[in-house]
Chain A
Amino acid sequence: MSFGNFKFVWALFTTNLKSVTALRGSFLLSMIFMALNNATFLVFWWVLFGRVGGLRGWQGPEVLLLFGVSAAGFGIMAAVAGGALHLSRFIDEGALEPLLTQPKPTLLYALGCRSQASGFGDFLSGIAFIALSGYLRWSTVPLVIFGVLASAVIFTATCVLLFSLAFWLHRTHTLSRQLLDITITFSLYPEPLFGGGLRLVLFTVIPAGFVGYLPASLVRTASVADAALLGFGCLAYGWLALRVFRSGLSRYSSGSRFGIFG
Chain B
Amino acid sequence: MNAFGKYWAFARIAATEAAAERATLYGRALFFAVILGVFSALWRAVAEAGMPLAARHQDMVWYLAITEWILLSAPLRHLEIQEQVRRGDVAYQLPRPVSFPRATLAQCLGMLLVQAPILGVVAFGSAYAFTGTLPSPKALLFVVPFGLLAAAVLAELYVALGLLSFWISDATPLYWVASKLMFILGGLMLPLELYPRWLQIVAACTPFPSLLAGPGSFVLHEPGDLALSLGLSLGFWALALFGLVELLFRRAVLALQVGGG
Interface assignment of B254: CB less than 8 Å from any CB of chain A: no
| Count of A interface residues, CB-CB < 8 Å | 35
Instruction: Find out whether the CB atom of B49 lies under 8 angstroms from the CB atom of A54.
Output: yes
B28 CB, min distance to chain A CBs, angstroms: 7
Are the CB atoms of B38 and A186 closer together than 8 Å? Answer: yes
Q: Which of A37, A41, A182 contacts B176 (CB 8 A)?
A: A37
In the assembly, what is the distance between CA of A102 and CA of B44, in Å? 53
Say yes or no: A55 contacts B173, CB within 8 Å: no
Please tell me the size bucket of the interface on B.
Answer: 20 to 34
| A182 and B30 in contact, given A51-B52, A55-B49 (Cβ under 8 angstroms) | yes
What separation, in Å, do the CA atoms of A52 and B180 have in the docked complex? 23
Report B96-109 CB contacts with A as 1/0, cut-off 8 Å: 00000000000000
Q: Is the CB of B194 within 8 A of A47?
A: yes
Asked if residues A182 and B34 are in contact (CB atoms below 8 Å), the reply is: yes
Residues of A within 8 A of B52 (CB): 48, 51-52
* Alpha-carbon distance A123/B66, docked complex (angstroms): 33
Contact call B173/A185, Cβ cutoff below 8 A: no
- Find A178's partner among B30, B50, B183, B194 (CB 8 Å cutoff): B30
> Contact between A40 and B180 (Cβ–Cβ < 8 Å)?
yes
Q: Fill in one digit per residue for B51-88: 1 if any A CB lies within 8 Å of its CB, else 0.
A: 01100000000000000000000000000000000000
Residue B236 CB within 8 A of the other chain:
no
Pick the contact of B194: A51, A55, A174, A189 (CB < 8 A): A51
A43 smallest CB distance to B (angstroms): 5
In the complex, 18 of the A-B residue pairs with CB atoms within 8 angstroms, ordered by the A residue number, are A40-B183, A41-B183, A43-B184, A44-B183, A47-B190, A47-B196, A51-B53, A51-B194, A53-B49, A55-B45, A55-B49, A175-B23, A175-B26, A178-B30, A181-B31, A186-B34, A193-B38, A193-B44
Lowest 8 A-B CB distances belong to which pairs? A51-B52, A178-B27, A193-B41, A40-B180, A55-B45, A52-B49, A182-B34, A33-B176
Chain A residues at the B interface, C-beta cutoff of 8 Å: 26, 29, 33, 36-37, 40-41, 43-44, 47-48, 50-56, 171-172, 174-175, 177-178, 181-182, 185-186, 189-190, 192-195, 198
Chain B residues packing against A (C-beta within 8 Å): 23-24, 26-28, 30-31, 34-35, 38, 41-42, 44-46, 48-50, 52-53, 170, 173, 176-177, 180, 183-184, 189-190, 194-196
